[in-house]
Amino acid sequence: MKSSQYVHFFFSNEPLFFLEDLMTRQGGLLWVDKYRPKTLETLDIHPEWTEKLASLCEQGTLPHLLFYGPSGVGKRTRIYALLRQVFGIAIEKRQVEHRFLKVGEPPKEVELTTITSAHHIELCPADVGYNDRLVIQEIVKEIASSKPIELGNVHRGYKVVVLHDIDEVSKQAQQALRRTMEKYTSCCRIIMSAESVTRVMEPIRSRCLGIRIPCPKKEEIEQVLQKIAKKEGLVLPDCYANQLVTQSKGNLRKAILLLQVGRAIAYPFSQQQQKKNEEEEESWISSQETGWDWERLCYDIANIVIREQNPKQLCNIRNKLYELFCHAIPGDMIFRKITLHLLRMMDEEVAPQVCHWAAHYEYGMKRGSKEIFHLEAFLAKVMYIYYSHIHTQYSMAWMDD
Amino acid sequence: MKRQKSSTFGEIAPAKRKRIHKRISESDDEANWSGQEDNVIGEELGDVTQKKPKQSEPPSPKESIVKSKKYFQKGPWKHTISPPNKGKKAVPTGSPESLQGLTFCITGVLDSLEREECTDLIRSLGGRVVSSPSKSVNFAVVGLEPGESKMAKIASLKIQVIDEDGLFDLIRARSTANIWKGQVETKTKLEETKQKKPTIDNNIAQSATCSELWTYKYAPCDLSELCANPGAIKSLKEWLVNWKAASLSQEGSKNKGKSSPKAVLLSGPPGIGKTTAALLVSKELGYFPMEFNASDTRNRAIVSSTVGSVINNQTLNQFGKDKTTSSVIIMDEVDGMSAGDRGGIQELIQLIKKTSVPIVCICNDDSSVKVRSLANYCLKLKWRRPLASQLRSRLLEICKKEGFENVDTQTLEKIVESCHGDMRQILNLLQSWRSHSRNLTYSDVLERMKQDGKTYEEMSIFELVKSLFSPGEWLSRRLDNYFMDPDLMPLMVAENYIISREASDLKKLVEASTSIAEGDIFNDLIRRQQAWNLMPVQALFSGIYPGQLLQGPFGDMIHFPSWLGKNSTRSKNKRLTMELQMRMSNNISGSFHAFLLEYLPCLRSILSAPLVNSKDGVSDVIERLDAYYLSKDDWDTLMSLSLEQKGHTELDKIPTATKTAFTREYNSRDHRVSTASAIRVHKVNESALVEEGESMQEETEVVKKEEDVQDMTLHDEEEIASKLVRSKGPSSSSKVSSKNSKTVEKGMRKNKKSTGKK
Amino acid sequence: MAPSLPEELPWVEKYRPNKIKDLVYQQEAAQLLHNCLTSGNLPHCLFYGPPGTGKTSAALAFCKELFPPEIYKDRVLELNASDERGIKVVREKIKRFAQGSVSSAQFEGFPCPPFKIIILDEADAITPDAQTALRRTMEQFSKITRFFLLCNYVTRVIDPLASRCAKFRFRSLPMQLQVDRLRYIVDQEGIMVSDDILQTLTSCCNGDLRRAIMTLESAYCLARGSNITDEIINSVTWRVPDHVISQIDSNCLKICSSGENTLQFSELRNMAIEFINNGYPVSEIIYQLCEALIPVNHLNKLQKSVIMIKFAQAEKMLIDGSDELLVLMDIFGVLFQVYNEPDNVEKLIWLTRN
C-alpha cells in the first residue's frame, strides 16, 4: 500500500523539461555544460572515433558498447552524442525520475535515479549498492518487455540501456549481466561506461565492442579552452591556458571548470610567464590559490610527512584525513593524490618503496571497511621509511618489513 | 557497629583493655587525634619512609567536568598512569582486622597497586578509605604525582604521610600485634553470637518460610521509604497536586491549555524505583493508578482503544465518593514501544493532548529516538541513581532482617557501587547469597562479585582499553577485556594507540598501525562472510598486538573514537551531495565521484566569488542556481560542504550585508524547482509519513525529529555509537551529528513545502 | 532470438551449432549425446571447461534434436545466472518443473524420450546453499528429469552434486579449428578477410571461440566494409598496442644502463600515469608484459621469476579491486629495482614479499 502511493506519485509526473526550456535556461549553466557537444560532429577531441561511431549507427545492428577511459575525457558526452545520432532529437527529451523498484525474492525496495527518454534509460547501478544485480535484471527485463516506440521517421528495432560506472558494480551483477545481454539482444542494446576496464569481467568485455577514450592531448585541451574563451569573449593568454592544461592532467572537464573558476576569482588572467620546469610547477600546484580544496588538503598531508616524522604529526594528519573522510572523498582518490605528491617531493631512492606500500595499503583498504585506518597506517609507514632514509647514510630500510 | 564492639569490652582482661580502649576511642572520637598519639603509632610501626611528592600538573578543567558526571564509574581520568611496578611486590596478607578503626586517604599513583586494589586491600583488612582528607584520616597513602590540593590539605591537617611500602609495613606490624587481640575478640564474638542466636533463628525461620522475592518483600510501601531522588519525587507530587487544579481550571477556560504539561515523563536507569515512586505518589494523593507496560501490546489501535477509553472515564470507585479521586495512567517502559507497536507513541501524544486524566510515562532514556518526540509534550523528571550513602541504611536494615552477620557499611557501599546503585539487582544478589551463607564480609563480597562476573562490568570502556596497554597483563585477561565490547574496542584502540608514550618509537607505531589496518580487513571478512570464528584473530590484530607493542602509560587522556561521529557526518554529507547531484543530473554529466570531486568545489567558488566583493553578483548567482534547479537552501548546503578551514570558508568571505541582500533577492523571485528532488526527500521521511498520515501538518515538529534520527542510524555501528554516546555522557560525535541534522532539517522543511504545493 | 529477424541476430547466436554432429572437437560429450539420441538413455551431465568451448551449445543443440519445438518449452527449463537462483527458486521453480509428469506423445523425427531436461548454465554461480538443496531434487525425480550442469570451474560445484553427474571436460579449441570455423562464418557472410588476420584474432582469444566470433563481428562492424586491419583487431580485442608494451622494457633498460648515479624512477612514474590516462587496462598490460618478458635475454632467471611473482600478486590485487595506478606503479617499482640490481639476490628475493 505504502509503495503504491509513491509509484502513483512518480508516474503521474509530466516530463519536467522540454527542449525550448533547455534553450532559454542555458545562460546560467557552467561552461562545461553549456558548451558540451551535442552531436558526434561537434565533438572536439578524438575525431578518429567520430567517424567510426557514426558508421556503427548507420548499420542496422549496433553492437553492445563499452566506453572506457579516465574521468573527464567525455565518455558520457560521447554516449549522448551517439544516442542523438541514433534516435535524433527525440533523445533530448529526457526525464529524471527517482524510482522505487521492488526487486528480488522476497521483494526488497530499492531507490535509484534514472534518466529516461522514449528510447533509452540511463542509470548507475552501483548507486544501489548491494542490490545492483537485481536492479540490472529488473531494468533490462522491463525495457525489453515493452516494444520499442516508433516515433515518426525514426525507427530502430531496439531501445538502449545505458549503464554508467559498470566497473563499480559487484561481481554478481556482472555475472547476471552477461546472459541478460545475450538474451535481449534482439530488442535492446546496452551501452556501458567504465573508468577502469580491469574491473569489468572478461565475459562482459567479450560481449561488447570496447571503445577506449584516452585523455586528450595537451594541444587539444588548449584548443577547447581557447574556443570557449573566444565564445565568452575572454582574453586567455597562452601561458595561463598552459597552466590549466598542466594542472588538469588530461581531465578536460577539470580544465574547463578551472577556467571558469579562474574567471570568477581572478580575471583578467595573469600574463606572467611561468617557468615550465618541474619545481616551478610544484610550487604553483601547492600554492593556496589553485586546485580544488580537497586536493590541497591531500598535498598538505603529504607535506607534513616530508617535513616532520613523529606521532604528533600523525595525529595532525589523522585530523586532516578525517576532514576528507567527512566529505566523502573516496579513499582511493586520497591514496592516489598523496602518493603522487609524495613521489614528487621525495628522493628517488625511496620512491619504489613508497609505491609498493601505497599499493599494499590501498589493497588492504579495498578489502577492509574503515578507510582511515589504512590511510593512517600507510602514512605512518612512509614517515618511517623517510625518517630512516634521512637519518642513515646508506639506507637499509628496505630490509625492515 | 563500633558501639557494639565497645559494649563487648567488659570481657577483656583489664590490663589489655586500656590499650585497646585507647585505640578504639582514638577512632571513635576523631577530634582527639593529636600529634602525641601520632608518635605512638609511629614508633609502633618503625620507620615509615616519607617521600616528597613531586609536583604534578593540575587536572584540566575538562577532566573535572567529566569526573563530576560519573556516579560510580571510577573514570580513567583519575589517574591515567598505571603503577610502575605493577604486580611486582608481595602484598602482605595481614589478619582480617589489622587495620580496624583506621582511616586512610590515597592520592597519587602507588608503586605497585592500582588505586582500586589498594582500596580493596585496606577495606578487606577493616580499614576505611575516604576520598578526600579530613580530620578523621589517620594516614595518607601517597604515591607518585599526588593531587596538589590533597597534599596541601594533608599538610595542613598534619596527617601522617606514608607510601605504599609504609602501608605494607603497617599491615604487617599491626597484624602481628593483633594476633593475640584477635583471639580475644573472636572469643567475645562467639559469646556475642550465642547471646543473639535465638533472635536470629527467628529471623531465619521467617525468611526461610517466605519464598517471596526480596524485591517485592522490601518494595517500599510508603513514600518515606523511598531512599533516593527526593527532589524528583517532590516535583512529581507537586505536578500531580497541581494537575487537579490545572485540569479543573482548564475546564473553565480552555485557552490556557499550554501552561502546564498534561503528562509527565520519568526517566532514569533501571531498578532505581521510578515505577514504585509513580505508584506510591499516586496512591498517596488518592489516585487510582492504571498501569500499562511492555507486556501489553501498545500499537496505535490498541493505545487509542484501551487507554483512550480510560481517559474520559471516571473510575467506578468514584461513584458516590467525592469528585476529586480519579485514576492515573502509568505508561511504563515507553521506550520499549518498538516495531510491533507502530504509531503507539504518536497516539499517546494525541491522547496526552486531550486527556482528562493525568498520564505518567516512564522510560529509561529520555533522549532516545523513540521517546524524544513524546518528551516535548511532557514534564521531564530525571531519576538519578541513588548514592551509596542513600541506600546504606535501608540495606543495613534489610540485611539485619534477613539475618546476615557482620554486615558493615563499607561492604554495603561496595555492593552498591558494583551494582551501580541498582537497588533491585542488589536485593536479588543478596537474596542469592543469603541462600547459601549468612556471612557478608568485605572479602566475601569481593570474591562473590568476581565469581558472578561483576568485576568486569565495573570497568568502563576506557579502563578496558587501558588494560590492553598495561604491561604485565595476562594475554587471556586482555582477550577477555577485549571481548567485553568487540565492536567498540578496535575503534578505541585505533583512536588511542597514537597517544601511547611508546608511540614515539616510529617503528613500533608503524607496526601497530599496520596491525590495526589488518584487523580491519578481518573485521570485514567476519561481517561479510559471517566468519565468526575469525573473531579472536581480529582481536589479536586490532587489539592485543598493538597493545602489546605500545604497552605503557598514555600521554594524554583516552578519547572516545571519533570515527563513529565522523562516519555519520560522512553519510550525511554523502546523502546531501547525492541529492544535489540528482537535482542537477539533467544538465551535468559525470559520475557521483566526478560530481563530488570536481563539480562541487567549482560550484562553491563560482557561486560565492561574485558575492565576495559586491552585491552586484547576486542576480548572477541566482540565475546560475535557477539554471540547475537549485534553491537557496541548496546553496547553503553547498557552502556547508566546504573543506576549507573554519574562518576561511567561502561563506566567511561573503559580507553579511550581501548575504541578507542575496536572501531577500532570492525570495522575491519566482523559481522553478525540479520535481525530482521533492520525490527523493519523500523517501527519507517515509516511515514517519506513514505513521503520521493525515495529521501531518500539526506535527511537523515531531516528524522532523524522527527524520534526522533515521538518517543517523544508517549504519549499524552508528547505532552502537549513539547508544554509547548517550550512556557515556556527551561526546563530540553527538554534537557533530546534531549540528548536521539542522541543515537537513532545513532542507526537509523546504521540500515539504514544495510537495505540499503540488 | 526472435525468428522473424534472423539477420539481426549476432553471429554468436546465428552460427551456434544446431545439431550434435556440428559440434567440433569435444568428442566424448558428443559421443554420449549422440548415443542418447538413439537409445534414449541419459545420465545427469556436468560439462565443465573454459568459456567459449561449446558447453551451452552442446546442451541446447541436444535438446533441440531431442524435442520438437511444440513441446520444447514443456520439456526443457533453462536457467542461467541472470535468473534468480537462490535457494527459494531451487525449492519451488526447479522442484515444480522436476515433479511434473511427462506425456509419452511421440513426434515424427524426434526421439522424444520420456523425461524432461533442466539446464543450469553457469552452475558455479549458484550459491552453495542452493546447490545443497538441489541434491535431493536431483535424485528424487531422476526418473522423469535430467539435469545438465554447465560451469567453468568444476571445483565450485559442491562434491555431492558433481558425484551425481557424468563429468565431461570441454577442452580449449585448437587454433586451427577456430580459424576454420571463423573462415566458415566469414564465407557465409561474404566478407574478405585474410587468414593472417583470423590467426591473430584467434591467438588473442585463448581458445574461446565465442569470443573470437564476437570479436570478428565487432571488427567487421567497425571496419564497415573496408578491410579489417591489425589496428582494428587491437581495438576490438582490448589489447594494448605492442609498441606500448615494448616501451616499458626499453625504458627500464635505458634507465638501468644509464648508471647508478642517475636513478630515474620518475620517468617510469610518468609512464605509469600516461598509461592510465590513455585508459589501457592494467590487467591487460600485465598479461602482455608477461608474455613479452619471458623470452628476453637480458634478464636472468631469478630476475624473471621475481617479476612473475610480482605480476601474480598484482593480478590478485586488481581482481580484488585495487587502484590501477598504484598497482602499476608498484610493478614499475619492482621492475626498476630488478633491472637495476640484477645480482643482489637477497634484495630480489625480498622484493617478492607480500
What is each CA distance from A111 to A3, A132, B676, in whole angstroms? Answer: 11, 11, 13
Query: Residues 6 or more apart from A128 whose CB is under 8 A from it?
Result: A110, A111, A112, A135
pLDDT 10s digits, A211-270: 888 888 888 888 888 888 888 888 888 888 888 888 888 888 888 888 888 887 776 666
Number of domains within chain A: 3
Tell me if chain B has a CB within 8 Å of the CB of A100.
yes
Residue where a domain stops, chosen among A252, A286, A320: A286
Parallel, antiparallel or unpaired: strands B263-267 and B359-363: parallel
| Pair C228, C250 in one domain | no
Q: Which chain A residues have a beta carbon less than 8 Å from that of C152?
A: none
Is A322 in contact with B503 (Cβ distance < 8 A)? no
| Pair B445, B518 in one domain | no
Nearest to B684 by CA among B752, B609, B634, B622: B752
pLDDT 10s digits, A182-195: 777 777 888 999 98
Nearest to B640 by CA among B742, B727, B711, B538: B742
Helix ranges (DSSP H) in B403-534: 409-418, 423-434, 442-451, 454-458, 461-469, 475-482, 489-496, 506-529
pTM of the shown model:
0.68
| Pair A150, A120 in one domain | yes
Return d(Cα B355, Cα B290) in angstroms, integer.
14
| Pair C267, C207 in one domain | no
| Pair B634, B690 in one domain | yes
Averaged pLDDT in 10-residue chunks for chain C of 354 residues: 48 81 78 80 86 84 83 82 67 80 74 83 80 81 85 85 85 84 85 81 80 81 72 77 85 74 73 87 88 86 89 90 90 87 79 72
Angle at C12 between CA C9 and CA C14, to 5 degrees: 45
Tell me if chain A has a CB within 8 Å of the CB of C265.
yes
Cross-strand pairs, B128: B103
- pLDDT at residue A377, as a whole number: 93
Tell me if chain A has a CB within 8 Å of the CB of C12.
yes
What chain C residue is nearest to A195 in terms of C-alpha separation? Answer: C279
* Backbone φ and ψ of B136, nearest 5°: -75, -10
Residue C306 lies in a domain: yes
- pLDDT at residue B516, as a whole number: 92
Residue C129 lies in a domain: yes
Q: What percent of chain B has pLDDT over 90?
A: 2
Name the residue among A94, A311, A400 with its Cβ closest to that of B503: A311
**Kind and range of the H or E element at A108?**
strand A108-116
Nearest to C281 by CA among C226, C227, C244: C244
| Pair C272, C324 in one domain | yes
Burial class (CB in 10 A: 0-12, 13-18, 19+), A204: buried
| Pair C16, C159 in one domain | yes
| Pair B110, B240 in one domain | no
CB B497 within 8 A of CB B503: yes
Q: Is B407 helix (H, G, I), strand (E, B) or coil?
A: coil
Is A377 in contact with B517 (Cβ distance < 8 A)? yes
| Pair B64, B134 in one domain | yes
The alpha carbon of residue A322 is apart from the nearest alpha carbon of chain B, in Å, by: 7
Residue where a domain stops, chosen among B559, B576, B595: B559
The alpha carbon of residue A70 is apart from the nearest alpha carbon of chain C, in Å, by: 6
Tell me if chain B has a CB within 8 Å of the CB of A60.
no
| Pair A118, A134 in one domain | yes
Residues 131-190 (C) with a CB less than 8 A from some CB of A: none
| Pair A177, A233 in one domain | no
Highest-scoring range by mean pLDDT, A375-379, B573-577, C146-150:
A375-379
pLDDT 10s digits, A44-68: 777 777 877 887 777 666 788 889 8
* Backbone φ and ψ of A17, nearest 5°: -155, 115
Name the residue among C277, C282, C284 with its Cβ closest to that of A70: C277
CB B417 within 8 A of CB B129: no
Nearest to A193 by CA among A214, A171, A211: A211
**Does the pLDDT value for residue B16 go beyond 60?**
no
Number of domains within chain C: 3
Is C8 in contact with A70 (Cβ distance < 8 A)? no
Structural Rg of chain A based on CA atoms = 24
Stretch B513-522: mean pLDDT, rounded?
92
DSSP symbol at A210: E
Q: What is the 3-state secondary structure (H, E, C) of B346-399?
A: HHHHHHHHHCCCCEEEEECCCCCHHHHHHHCCEEEEECCCCCHHHHHHHHHHHH
CB B182 within 8 A of CB B145: no
Query: Residues 6 or more apart from B407 whose CB is under 8 A from it?
Result: B396, B399, B400, B440
Tell me if chain B has a CB within 8 Å of the CB of A19.
no
Tell me if chain A has a CB within 8 Å of the CB of B397.
no
What chain C residue is nearest to A336 in terms of C-alpha separation? Answer: C326
| Pair C214, C346 in one domain | no
Nearest to B460 by CA among B436, B481, B491, B437: B481
Domain residues for A297?
293-399
DSSP symbol at C94: I
pLDDT 10s digits, B325-373: 567 788 777 776 655 556 677 777 777 777 777 888 888 777 776 677 7
Is B585 in contact with A113 (Cβ distance < 8 A)? yes
Residues comprising chain C, all counted? 354
pLDDT 10s digits, A257-316: 888 888 877 766 666 544 444 444 444 444 445 578 888 888 888 888 888 888 888 888
Return d(Cα B681, Cα B752) in angstroms, integer.
8
What does the mean pLDDT of chain B come to? Answer: 68
DSSP symbol at A154: B
The alpha carbon of residue C268 is apart from the nearest alpha carbon of chain A, in Å, by: 10
- pLDDT at residue A189, as a whole number: 83
Q: Which chain A residues have a beta carbon less than 8 Å from that of C205?
A: 206
Instruction: Tell me which of A46, A161, A186, A249 to substitute to probe the interface with C (most C C-beta atoms closer than 10 Å).
Output: A186
What chain A residue is nearest to C84 in terms of C-alpha separation? Answer: A104
The alpha carbon of residue B758 is apart from the nearest alpha carbon of chain A, in Å, by: 10
pLDDT 10s digits, B105-138: 777 777 777 777 777 777 777 777 777 777 777 7
| Pair A24, A140 in one domain | yes
The residue whose grid cell reads 604521610 is B161
Return d(Cα B394, Cα B396) in angstroms, integer.
5
pLDDT 10s digits, B624-652: 888 787 888 888 888 888 877 776 777 77
Is C8 in contact with A186 (Cβ distance < 8 A)? yes
| Pair A76, A48 in one domain | yes
| Pair A17, A116 in one domain | yes
Residue B221 lies in a domain: no
Instruction: Return the C-alpha cell found at B717.
Output: 555501528
| Pair C211, C163 in one domain | no
- pLDDT at residue B13, as a whole number: 44
Q: Residue B270 region, left (φ>0) first, then alpha (ψ -120 to 50), else beta? A: beta
| Pair B554, B572 in one domain | no
Number of domains within chain B: 5
Name the residue among A111, A330, A368 with its Cβ closest to that of B593: A330
Return d(Cα B237, Cα B240) in angstroms, integer.
5
> Is the pLDDT higher at C340 or at A320?
A320
Instruction: Return the C-alpha cell found at B703.
Output: 516528524
**Neighbors of chain B with 3 or more C-beta pairs under 8 Å:** A
- pLDDT at residue B309, as a whole number: 66
What chain B residue is nearest to A363 in terms of C-alpha separation? Answer: B521
Return d(Cα A345, Cα A355) in angstroms, integer.
13
Tell me if chain A has a CB within 8 Å of the CB of C261.
no
**Does the pLDDT value for residue A20 go beyond 80?**
no
Q: Which chain B residues have a beta carbon less than 8 Å from that of A98?
A: 582, 676, 679-680, 683
| Pair A347, A199 in one domain | no
Return d(Cα C55, Cα B708) in angstroms, integer.
54
CB A261 within 8 A of CB A251: no
The alpha carbon of residue C27 is apart from the nearest alpha carbon of chain A, in Å, by: 25
Is A212 in contact with C279 (Cβ distance < 8 A)? yes
What does the mean pLDDT of chain A come to? Answer: 78
Question: Using 50, 70 and 90 to split pLDDT, how confident is the model at B2?
Answer: very low
Residue B492 lies in a domain: yes
Sheet strands (E) in B197-353: 263-267, 288-292, 327-331
Tell me if chain A has a CB within 8 Å of the CB of C65.
no
Residue where a domain stops, chosen among A179, A212, A245: A212
The alpha carbon of residue B471 is apart from the nearest alpha carbon of chain A, in Å, by: 21
Return d(Cα B111, Cα B86) in angstroms, integer.
7
CB B99 within 8 A of CB B171: yes
What is each CA distance from B160 to B34, B37, B79, B141, in whole angstroms? Answer: 11, 11, 23, 9
What chain B residue is nearest to A316 in terms of C-alpha separation? Answer: B498
DSSP symbol at B55: P
Residue C283 lies in a domain: yes
ipTM tops the 0.90 cut: no
Name the residue among A63, A185, A399 with its Cβ closest to that of C221: A63
The alpha carbon of residue B679 is apart from the nearest alpha carbon of chain A, in Å, by: 7
Domain residues for C93?
6-169
Is C329 in contact with A359 (Cβ distance < 8 A)? yes
| Pair A160, A253 in one domain | no
Chains C, B in contact: 3+ Cβ pairs under 8 A? no
**Kind and range of the H or E element at C181?**
helix C175-189
Return d(Cα B680, Cα A98) in angstroms, integer.
6
